[in-house]
Amino acid sequence: MKTKTYAGIPAELAKLEQAKIVLIPVPYDGTSTWQKGADKGPEAFLNASENMELYDIETNTEVYKQGVYLADAVTENSSPEAMVDAVHQTTKKYIKKNKFVTIFGGEHSISIGTIRAFNEMYSSLTVLQLDAHADLRKSYEGSTCNHACAVYEASQTTNLIQVGIRSMDAIEKTVMDKDKTYFAHDMAVDDNWMDSAIDQMTDNVFITIDLDVFDPSILPSTGTPEPGGLLWYETLDFLKQVFEEKNVVGFDIVELCPNAKDKSSDFLAAKLYYKMLSYKFQNEDAEDDYDNSFDSSNSNKNNNLKFVEDDDY
Ligand SMILES: [Mn+2]
């Protein structure tokens, strides 16, 4: 039974009917290969969120007043495939309720389900992936729903843009679209990478953030930390521009692997989530109705085809 609201917000702002935002926790860690613990991510994130100031200085807003409904966690873990299916169905259910749907993992394999749902509900979807790892394997250790395969399906069915990549297997080069991949070592010496990535996006953008995209100096608590990652302000600068210029339809944040002795990563994740909501709703009056602009006719189309976009965008 759920006893708390997101960030301890008042109960009347946490009801599904009134809330514009839905948060779905997915405490899943079934396929991680090195450090376990991503199943504890949502709880650590929610605890940190409760201890965070809810006024955002930069946007001069209190986005929680738009209403945030904390959904029941998706706990299906009988198999990776069953988990992905449950995430897919739950995400879609709340998109259809005209909510801004956000998901907190769990390991990155949960995004196979979130992306599938958004791709069915929005046309010409761009998936913006911030991640240290390419995650483009078609299958890994006998499953297509392994964390190493997190965006393989997206690479085939959406306009996938990968940012911050600094670890991959050579086999992934056969799947990767190099023109839409921003390697960390290139970003470090290229002032233009943000504009270039935004120019490649369609209007509808879903963002998947693997927290290991951040440098381990600011986010050590993740399953596979990789040196040479993004820092805080450059990441916010990029995300803010994406929210301002595109229709961000939802996002997920994954791979928080909390450490009882160092809660700074939990706070970074909590603040990142709240910042993204603040950017999304900064020009929306809390009293105004919200329209998440999903396209119900789209769910009947076959979005399993390779993404093709002939128009300029
Ligand atoms: Mn990943």
Find the 135 Cα to ligand 1 centroid distance in Å: 6
Q: In the chain, which residue ranges form alpha helices assigned H by DSSP?
A: 41-50, 80-96, 110-121, 152-157, 184-187, 193-199, 232-245, 264-281
Contacts made by residues 186-191, CB under 8 angstroms, sequence distance 24+: 187/163, 187/230, 188/228
Find the 147 Cα to ligand 1 centroid distance in Å: 7
| Residues by chain with Cβ below 5 Å of ion ligand 1 | 108, 131, 133, 135, 210
Q: What is the pLDDT of residues 203-231, one digit of tens each?
A: 999 999 999 999 999 999 999 999 999 99
pLDDT at 304: 58
What amino acid occupies position 114? T
Find the 258 Cα to ligand 1 centroid distance in Å: 16
pLDDT at 89: 98
Per-residue tokens: 106: 């769990």
Find the 4 Cα to ligand 1 centroid distance in Å: 29
Q: What is the pLDDT of residues 79-129, one digit of tens each?
A: 999 999 999 999 999 999 999 999 999 999 999 999 999 999 999 999 999
Q: How many other CB atoms sit within 10 Å of the CB of residue 312?
A: 4
| Domains of the chain from N-terminus onward | 6-288 (3.40.800.10)
**Alpha-carbon distance 38 to 93, whole Å?**
24
Find the 136 Cα to ligand 1 centroid distance in Å: 9
Are 273 and 54 contacting, i.e. CB atoms less than 8 angstroms apart? no
Find the 278 Cα to ligand 1 centroid distance in Å: 24
pLDDT at 36: 76
Find the 289 Cα to ligand 1 centroid distance in Å: 34
**Under DSSP, is residue 200 helix (H, G, I), strand (E, B) or coil?**
coil
Find the 267 Cα to ligand 1 centroid distance in Å: 20
pTM exceeds cut of 0.85: yes
pLDDT-derived band of residue 159, with 50, 70 and 90 as boundaries?
very high
